[in-house]
């Protein structure tokens, strides 16, 4: 048996070796990026979503004293990032990175495939996961949501599938791609019903830490920000300054 197929004892718990290596890679990348390189601007943007929702200040304005660039995430993200934003910043960065790695690991383990196939996927995904951790990104968690959406459809748990789709969509928009799994649902009416319910619940959820008026306005501002961002991407691509590597960029090419 190869070492990554073995199980190791960690504090008397028997844990697959590949899980340990996966999380260790994530931990090393997170610690290096946080305490050595000090490059975690993305996380500052993330936690800013939570603080600005609570303070009811524009989520998409520039805050040069807090972070570079601007936020492109929806108001619902404020609740997801909340537990991390309440921690000391550098601790929050590391825990956030580990949570992203753990979420993707969990999602892959839920796939209806053999253990050998799961291990193969983990090895293939390890480099991309580490790259995302180095950049303190949300991508591993978003990918986990999309994988779990598939798992939900496969297991006929439409509530889970639609929760993951709605959550991904209201946080980063790209999560809506998982709506394609609707085609494979055996309970399409239930899928639609759960989907609408989750959209309403998750749309309104940030109001618990803010106000209805501010959250509704924030969704309007988010739409405006995404339109502006899309236009900038298109202009830069046309000028030859950079490639338009985005969902809309792919659509424009098609």
- pLDDT for 135 equals 92
CA distance 122 to 145: 16
Q: Could you state, in order of their start, the residue ranges of all structural domains in the chain?
A: 3-210
- pLDDT for 202 equals 97
Cβ-in-10-Å burial (0-12, 13-18, 19+) of 91 comes to exposed
pTM of the model: 0.87
CA distance 211 to 217: 10
Note the pLDDT tens digit of each residue in 115-168: 999 999 999 999 999 999 999 999 999 999 999 999 999 999 999 999 999 999
User: Which of 62-71, 205-214, 232-241 shows the lowest per-residue confidence on average (mean pLDDT)?
Assistant: 232-241
- Alpha helix locations (H) across the chain? 17-31, 41-55, 77-85, 89-109, 115-134, 139-154, 158-172, 188-204, 212-239, 247-253
CA distance 134 to 36: 11
């Amino acid at each position: 048996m190869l070492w990554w197929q073995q199980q190791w004892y960690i504090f008397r718990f028997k844990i697959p070796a590949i899980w340990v290596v996966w999380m260790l890679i994530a931990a090393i990348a997170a610690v290096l990026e946080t305490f050595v390189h000090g490059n975690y601007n993305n996380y500052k943007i993330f936690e800013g979503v939570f603080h600005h929702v609570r303070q009811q200040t524009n989520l998409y304005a520039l805050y040069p004293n807090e972070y570079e660039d601007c936020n492109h995430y929806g108001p619902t993200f404020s609740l997801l990032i909340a537990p991390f934003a309440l921690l000391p910043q550098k601790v929050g960065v590391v825990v956030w990175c580990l949570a992203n790695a753990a979420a993707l690991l969990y999602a892959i383990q839920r796939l209806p495939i053999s253990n050998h196939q799961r291990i193969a996927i983990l090895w293939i995904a390890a480099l991309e996961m580490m790259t995302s951790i180095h950049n303190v990104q949300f991508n591993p968690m978003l990918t986990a949501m999309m994988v779990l959406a598939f798992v939900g459809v496969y297991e006929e748990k439409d509530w889970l599938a639609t929760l993951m789709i709605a959550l991904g969509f209201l946080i980063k928009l790209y999560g809506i791609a998982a709506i394609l799994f609707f085609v494979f649902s055996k309970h399409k009416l239930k899928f639609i019903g759960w989907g609408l319910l989750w959209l309403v619940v998750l749309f309104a959820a940030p109001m618990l830490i803010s106000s209805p008026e501010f959250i509704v306005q924030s969704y309007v501002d988010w739409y405006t920000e995404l339109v502006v961002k899309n236009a900038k991407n298109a202009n830069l691509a046309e000028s030859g300054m950079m490639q338009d590597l985005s969902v809309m960029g792919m659509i424009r090419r098609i």
